[in-house]
Amino acid sequence: MNKKIGILAVLFAISLLVAFQVSVAKGYSAESPSIKARGVKNVIILIGDGMGVGQVEITKLCYGHLNMEDMPYAGFELTDSLSGPVTDSAAAGTAIATGFKTYNKMISTVKVRGKVVNVTTLLELAKYSGKATGLVTTTRITHATPAVFASHVENRDMEKEIARQLIEHKVNVLFGGGKREFDTETLDLARRNGYKVIYTKDELKNVDGEYVLGLFSESHMPYVLDRDNNTVGLLDMTKKAIELLEKDPDGFFLMVEGGRIDHACHANDVASVVAETKEFDDVVGYCLDYARKNKDTLVIVLADHETGGLGVGTNYGDPIDEHRILSIKASVSKMAKEIKEGGDPREVIKKYTGLDLTDEEVEKIKEAMNSDNKYALGNAIGEILSERVGVRFISHIHTGNPVPIMAYGPGQWYFRGFRHHVDTSKEIADIMLFGGERSVNANGIGVIKGDADGDYRIDLDDAYITLNYYVGKTTLNNDEKRLDMDNNGIIDYMDVIKIMEMAES
């Protein structure tokens, strides 16, 4: 018996030593892969920010058919965060990117006994396994949804710091708005890290290279309805991103966000909701086609949360007027700006929507102009227009409604039923690393660091068990502490990576 304990102690010491050396040697840099992914080659995650079933339904009523309808598997995502049933994009995105619930505003960080701890993301996991990575959005590239995949900060408003971290992470493709968040220092760092930095549609068309930073707008990209021929669209960016990323023989991980569906919902701007969701659905169609031709590609379509509580139907029971919705030629935000700059409300609304405002509606707009809330005017116009076209929002903020998730490709059948973002994250990690299917024998955590199944050795089963049963934990019992390979108080994808490194070395 003493002999056995002695052997165990030696094994334990060796495993600690190996873990220590691995962590010292690797640090954070995924230039050369440190683990080998055995699952699906390409993962594309498409996120419609604020896109609930109502937003999808109204866009379908306007256009007849959506590409999303061709996704063979679908389910509902619960979106609650540690702040409560109503999440923001930071906590929802963190759950999708890391498998951890966190508090609103936090970007891929969690609190462990009051301390803020970074949590490893799916994009980092992809990078560690040698895949190319990309983030594409119509918002600022430093906004919450792209940020959660390749930065770690306590508060989403730290966008200049997020910009720096996106570059530090060497994400191969970064396309979106947000030029204003990249100061000279960050741009210098980008160029030193090998990035080509581009700003225009022409440059996007011709660009090539391993690292490309495309900043196509000072802040968010313009709404679809407000664009001109020089504006870069979400589909342009997605096509180029895939063209650049697919050159990597190990495959790629790409997140594309239809980021302004949410903004349109906040303003109750139904015409923009439809236009932004349609653009997002065009991207869904393109990626579906790509996955049909490239079988080793998983496409996931989901929303981070719902915004506005949008539904077809009003008090008056008037049918939805899809022709009117499709004939509106500007966003509510553009109309509000023109009125604020002295435009006559009746004329501005008539010009862009063809509608004649009633006296009460003009009164409502004038009242909103006197409000201290800078969004009040846009909100008032949005309320008037949505009522006129037969839809209604219950609020200007996020709701706790479950949102749709759809999947196509290897492992698609996992993404169905009622689930939470954290389940989806871990399933994507599992499919990417292990192909989604592995039968393991778990006898409980062993005495050796990293031995998740208690068989006194470290192999891929331990990484698999750690991923599927323990990732997401922020309070660890004494057994679980032996799976916290980097001793940061949580079990996240980094611990899975470290166990895989030990299994493979």
Quote the CA–CA distance of 417 and 409 in Å, as a whole number.
17
Q: Identify which of residues 10 and 397 has a Cβ nearer to Zn ion in the complex.
A: 397
Note whether 75 and 415 are within 8 A (CB): yes
Q: Identify which of residues 118 and 139 has a Cβ nearer to Zn ion in the complex.
A: 139
Least CB distance from residue 247 to Zn ion, whole Å? 35
Q: Identify which of residues 266 and 388 has a Cβ nearer to Zn ion in the complex.
A: 266
Quote the CA–CA distance of 389 and 387 in Å, as a whole number.
6
Per-residue binding letters, 210-249, with Zn ion (x by CB under 5 A): ----------------------------------------
Distances (CA, A) of 181 to 56, 170, 316, 462: 32, 17, 46, 41
3-state helix, strand, coil in the chain (%, to 5): 45, 15, 35
Q: Identify which of residues 262 and 453 has a Cβ nearer to Zn ion in the complex.
A: 262
State the CB neighbour count (10 A cutoff) for residue 250.
Answer: 14
- For every residue of 316-383, DSSP letters joined together read T-PPP-HHHHHH--S-HHHHHHHHHTT--HHHHHHHHH-PPPPHHHHHHHHHHHT-S-TTHHHHHHHH
Quote the CA–CA distance of 356 and 121 in Å, as a whole number.
50
Catalytic hit among 89, 217, 331, 425: 89
Note whether 312 and 390 are within 8 A (CB): yes
Least CB distance from residue 106 to Zn ion, whole Å? 16
User: For Zn ion, which stretch binds (CB under 5 A), given 92-100, 228-236, 255-263, 494-502?
Assistant: 255-263
User: For Zn ion, which stretch binds (CB under 5 A), given 19-27, 219-227, 260-268, 472-480?
Assistant: 260-268
User: For Zn ion, which stretch binds (CB under 5 A), given 25-33, 163-171, 257-265, 424-432?
Assistant: 257-265
User: For Zn ion, which stretch binds (CB under 5 A), given 175-183, 219-227, 262-270, 356-364?
Assistant: 262-270
Q: Cα angle vertex 175, ends 169, 181, to 5°?
A: 70
And the tokens for 190?
């980008």
Least CB distance from residue 139 to Zn ion, whole Å? 10
Q: Identify which of residues 104 and 353 has a Cβ nearer to Zn ion in the complex.
A: 104
Per-residue binding letters, 440-479, with Zn ion (x by CB under 5 A): ----------------------------------------
Quote the CA–CA distance of 224 and 302 in Å, as a whole number.
20
276 binds Zn ion (CB under 5 A): no
Least CB distance from residue 300 to Zn ion, whole Å? 21
> Looking at residue 143, what DSSP letter applies?
S
| Nearest residue to 143 via CA among 49, 73, 206, 70 | 49
304 binds Zn ion (CB under 5 A): no
Quote the CA–CA distance of 405 and 384 in Å, as a whole number.
31
Q: Identify which of residues 34 and 87 has a Cβ nearer to Zn ion in the complex.
A: 87
Q: Which residue is nearest to Zn ion (CB)?
A: 262
262 binds Zn ion (CB under 5 A): yes
Least CB distance from residue 304 to Zn ion, whole Å? 9
- For every residue of 64-132, DSSP letters joined together read S--GGGG-SEEEEEE--BTTBSS--HHHHHHHHHHS----TT-BSEEEETTEEEE---HHHHHHHTT-E
Least CB distance from residue 50 to Zn ion, whole Å? 5
What number of chain residues touch Zn ion (CB under 5 A)?
A: 1
| Nearest residue to 451 via CA among 1, 18, 3, 2 | 18
Query: What part of residues 90-109 is at the interface with Zn ion (CB under 5 A)?
Result: none
Residue 217 falls in the annotated catalytic set: no
Q: Identify which of residues 272 and 353 has a Cβ nearer to Zn ion in the complex.
A: 272
Q: Identify which of residues 262 and 322 has a Cβ nearer to Zn ion in the complex.
A: 262
Query: Cα dihedral sign for 393, 394, 396, 400?
Result: negative
User: For Zn ion, which stretch binds (CB under 5 A), given 210-218, 261-269, 324-332, 454-462?
Assistant: 261-269
Least CB distance from residue 291 to Zn ion, whole Å? 29
SS3 258: strand
And the tokens for 434?
């292990």
Least CB distance from residue 49 to Zn ion, whole Å? 7
Amino acid at 47: I
Least CB distance from residue 447 to Zn ion, whole Å? 47
Q: Identify which of residues 265 and 407 has a Cβ nearer to Zn ion in the complex.
A: 265
User: For Zn ion, which stretch binds (CB under 5 A), given 60-68, 258-266, 292-300, 475-483?
Assistant: 258-266
Phi first, then psi, for residue 133 (nearest 5°) are -135, 150
User: For Zn ion, which stretch binds (CB under 5 A), given 39-47, 256-264, 372-380, 439-447?
Assistant: 256-264
Least CB distance from residue 272 to Zn ion, whole Å? 14
Q: Identify which of residues 130 and 382 has a Cβ nearer to Zn ion in the complex.
A: 382
Beta-sheet pairing, 391-392 with 311-312: antiparallel
Residues near Zn ion, by CB under 5 A: 262
Catalytic positions, written as ranges = 89
